[in-house]
Amino acid sequence: MSTTSKLSKTEVDALIAGLDGAEALESNVDGLSSDKKVRDFTFGSDDLSLLGDYYALRVINERFARFSRTVFQPMLRVQPRITALNPTVKTFEEYSFSSEAFMSLTLARIEILRGNLMMVISPDLISKLTNAYYGGNLAISKSSKRTEFTSTEDRIIEIITDGLIEALDIAWSDLIKLEFSDLSREENLQFASFVEDTEQVICCAFEIQLPGSDPASFDVIYPLQTLKPIAAQLRSRMQSDSVDSLSWTDRLQQAVFSIPLTCTARLTTVDSKMSDILQYKNNDIVPIQITGPLDLVVENREFFEAELGDLGGTIAISLLQPNRKTEKT
C-alpha cells in the first residue's frame, strides 16, 4: 500500500522560486545572444587562433635568430644577419608540396611536450656553407639536382644542426625548459617520419643574408598538436628581443669577437742592404730560402707557426703551435 504526503508551504514556495529563476535565466541568455556575437567552437580544432597571436613564439624566434648567428659565423668568417619571419600554419602536405623533396631534415624529440620538431635546410645552403668553410666562395651557382649529400656535407650538417638545436634550447629557456633528444637525420620530405600529411604544422622560417650571395633560408617546423599544451604560455607577453636580453658584457663580447683582423701567412724574411733595395726594378729576382715553418701574422704580430699545403686544390696552411716569441710576450 502506497502512502502519499503533501508538500509543506516552504517546499511549495521553493519550487515556485526555482521556476521564476529559470525564466529569468532564459531571458538573460536571450538578451546576451542578441547583444554579443557568439561563434561556434569545435573542441579539438586545429585553428591557428587556439594559440592566440603567437606573441611568445615570435619572440622566441627572434632570440633564436640572434643566437644562431654564432653557429654560422665560424663557417662564413663573418656574422651573418638572420631574420625571423612570421610563423605560418599549414598542413604538412602543403608544406611538403611547396618545398623540394631533397632537403636536409633533422628531427628532434621534445620530451616535455611529447612531440617532435623538424629542422629543414636546403641543399644549396649546405653547399654554400661547405664551400665557405673550406675557403671557397659563397657566390656559387645552384647545385644540380641530386639525391644525397657528400660525406663532407654530412659533417657540415651535423655541426650546423647541433649548434642550431643548442641555440633553440636557449631561445626557449625563458618560457619553458625544453630538452631535445633522439636526433635523427633524413634527406627526403616525402618519406620523413614526422606527422601525417593532413596534420597542421607551424612553419617558422629564418632568412640569412649571406655576403656576396643571394639570401638563403632554413625552417623549423612544429606540429600544432605539440604546442597546444603550452598555448597559454605562447599567448604571454615575453620581453621582445628589440629590448636586448643579453647583458652588456655579452654584447661587448659579441662586438669584440666581430672585429675584423688581417691575417697574413709570411713565408720568410730576407735581409738586404739599403743600396740594393734602392736599385730594385721590375723583373728583378730576389732569391729566398724557406728553411722552417712559416708564420701566421695577425695584425703585424706573429701568432702561430704553420706549414704550407693544399686542401682540395686550394692553397692552405696548417697551424702547428703558438709562436714562441708571442708566448714570451
Strands 180-188 and 115-121: unpaired
Report, as an integer, the average pLDDT of 122-145. 78
pLDDT in tens, 7-42: 666 766 767 766 655 555 555 545 544 454 555 544
pLDDT in tens, 56-82: 888 899 999 999 998 998 888 777 889
Lowest mean pLDDT among 62-71, 97-106, 200-209, 235-244: 235-244
pLDDT value for 161: 92
Residue 156, CA distances (Å) to 49, 153, 273, 287 in order: 38, 5, 50, 42
DSSP letters spanning 201-243: EEEEEEEEE-TTS--EEEEEEEEHHHHGGGHHHHTS-PPPTTS
Q: Is the pLDDT of residue 44 over 80?
A: no
Joined together, the cell numbers standing for residue 293 give 715553418
Domains defined for the chain, CATH in brackets = 48-257 (3.40.1550.10), 263-328 (2.30.330.10)
Nearest to 81 by CA among 275, 240, 217: 217
AA identity, residue 185: R
Alpha-carbon distance of 100 to 122, in angstroms, equals: 8
Element (H, E) at 53: none
pLDDT in tens, 81-110: 899 998 889 998 889 888 888 899 999 999
pLDDT value for 9: 64
The sign of the CA dihedral 189, 195, 198, 200 is: negative
